[in-house]
């Protein structure tokens, strides 16, 4: 039975499912889910992330976190965590860039939150020698100051979609038409979580919610507020959700989210406003939402690129120039991706960001 068959049978038995349930099945089904069955990254996969584009990204992330550690009195034990670490490339670059910072590695408890058994094995190979630990949920994070990065993690969390209908909302659902999956709408109802959106939307507008993001950011912010540390949330999105941003990517091309479930990556733009609101509610400070390009330039990516270019030529130099542009240029990842920093109210913001 294919995943499509499974979904059609589930809908036939239980009725249409939310977009969130559909995403969960497509991404995390234990035997046919996208992340359960493959390494999705790189040229031979379906998409590429910033750490895979250039080592510069991870190096600068590492130095920002390390400076925050120093600014907070370099605690002699802390958790260095990554949520959704992909192949482990970002963490490997973080650890390489911070090798010379006295005491940093000795104090770091490297911790990875990863659902995919295939990616866990790749991470283990890449991080051989650093003895990372793997956890299932943020509640499993060790009890210590937390310095954490989440790069393209929140965009993969399941979303629910609601269409404005008068003073209420109709949830967008995934149902079946014959042997195909199709979208439909639930009955009109009020939504407590969307009461504040009646003032800035009109009939027909679509708004997305990511219910699972709030408990996660609340745990991270609570740990940082009470025990110290810093967080860097890097993802594509903006401050306020409006419109349909669900997308599927397969072989580096856009695809129909309802076609070939389990065979394409599904993501949605991150709405940073509720993340920031939950951070404040947990007693943690957060920075201004900052474009990735600005963040990296403040940390010195151009100087780092110039240093790396001194020993390069030809194709390798072209690759470096292209990587710098892709990470920072406003027309590429520079403006599409944003950075939200978390930090204790008594401390300075992570380097590269402003309060």
Q: pLDDT tens-digit profile of 194-229?
A: 999 999 999 999 999 999 999 999 999 999 999 999
What pLDDT sits at residue 118?
Answer: 87
Rounded to whole angstroms, how far apart are CA atoms 305 and 313?
Answer: 13
Quick one: tokens of 122? 């790749």
**Largest alpha-carbon pair distance within the chain?**
63
What pLDDT sits at residue 64?
Answer: 98
What pLDDT sits at residue 38?
Answer: 66
What pLDDT sits at residue 41?
Answer: 61
What pLDDT sits at residue 45?
Answer: 57
What pLDDT sits at residue 40?
Answer: 62
Whether the Cβ atoms of residue 27 and residue 153 lie closer than 8 Å to each other = no
The DSSP output letter for 41 is: B
What pLDDT sits at residue 129?
Answer: 87
The beta strands (E) that lie in 229-328 are given as: 229-238, 247-250, 253-255, 265-267, 270-271, 285-286, 290-291
What pLDDT sits at residue 33?
Answer: 85
Q: Which residues of the chain have pLDDT under 50?
A: 42, 44
Q: What is the pTM of this model?
A: 0.94
What pLDDT sits at residue 48?
Answer: 83
Give the domain ranges of the chain: 3-31+160-208, 50-158+210-343
What pLDDT sits at residue 212?
Answer: 96
What pLDDT sits at residue 305?
Answer: 95
Options 3.40.50.12710, 3.40.605.10, 3.40.720.10, 3.40.50.970; which CATH number does 50-158+210-343 get?
Answer: 3.40.50.12710
Strands 133-135 vs 253-255: parallel, antiparallel or unpaired = unpaired
Residue 150 CB neighbour total at 10 angstroms: 25
Query: Can you tell me which residue has the tokens 């020698």?
Result: 129
Whether the Cβ atoms of residue 187 and residue 16 lie closer than 8 Å to each other = no
Q: Model confidence over 289-309: pLDDT tens digits?
A: 999 999 999 999 999 999 999
């Amino acid at each position: 039975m294919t995943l499509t068959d499974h979904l059609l049978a589930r809908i036939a038995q239980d009725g249409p499912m939310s977009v969130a349930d559909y995403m969960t099945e497509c991404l995390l089904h234990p035997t046919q889910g996208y992340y359960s069955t493959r390494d999705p990254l790189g040229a031979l996969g379906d998409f590429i992330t910033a750490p895979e584009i250039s080592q510069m990204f991870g190096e600068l992330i590492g130095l920002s976190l390390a400076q925050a550690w120093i600014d907070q009195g370099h605690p002699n034990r802390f958790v260095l965590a990554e949520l959704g670490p992909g192949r482990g490339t970002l963490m490997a670059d973080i650890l390489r860039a911070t090798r010379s910072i006295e005491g940093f590695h000795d104090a770091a408890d490297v911790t990875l939150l990863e659902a995919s058994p295939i990616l866990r094995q790749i991470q283990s190979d890449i991080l051989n020698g650093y003895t990372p630990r793997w956890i299932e949920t943020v509640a499993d994070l060790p009890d210590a100051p937390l310095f954490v990065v989440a790069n393209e993690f929140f965009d993969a969390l399941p979303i629910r979609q609601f269409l404005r209908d008068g003073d209420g909302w109709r949830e967008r659902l995934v149902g079946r038409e014959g042997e195909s999956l199709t979208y439909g709408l639930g009955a009109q109802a009020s939504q407590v979580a969307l009461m504040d959106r009646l003032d800035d939307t009109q009939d027909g507008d679509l708004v997305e919610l990511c219910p699972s993001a709030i408990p996660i950011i609340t745990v991270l912010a609570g740990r940082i507020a009470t025990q110290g540390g810093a967080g860097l949330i890097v993802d594509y999105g903006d401050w306020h959700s409006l419109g349909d941003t669900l997308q599927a990517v397969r072989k580096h091309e856009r695809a129909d989210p309802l076609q070939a479930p389990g065979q394409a990556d599904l993501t949605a733009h991150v709405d940073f406003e509720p993340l920031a609101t939950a951070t404040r509610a947990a007693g943690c400070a957060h920075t201004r939402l900052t474009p990735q390009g600005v963040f990296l330039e403040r940390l010195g990516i151009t100087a780092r690129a110039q240093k790396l270019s001194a020993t390069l030529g030809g194709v390798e130099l072209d690759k470096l120039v292209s990587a710098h542009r892709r990470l920072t240029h406003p027309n590429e990842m520079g403006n599409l991706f944003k950075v939200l920093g978390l930090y204790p109210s008594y401390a300075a913001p992570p380097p590269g960001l402003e309060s």
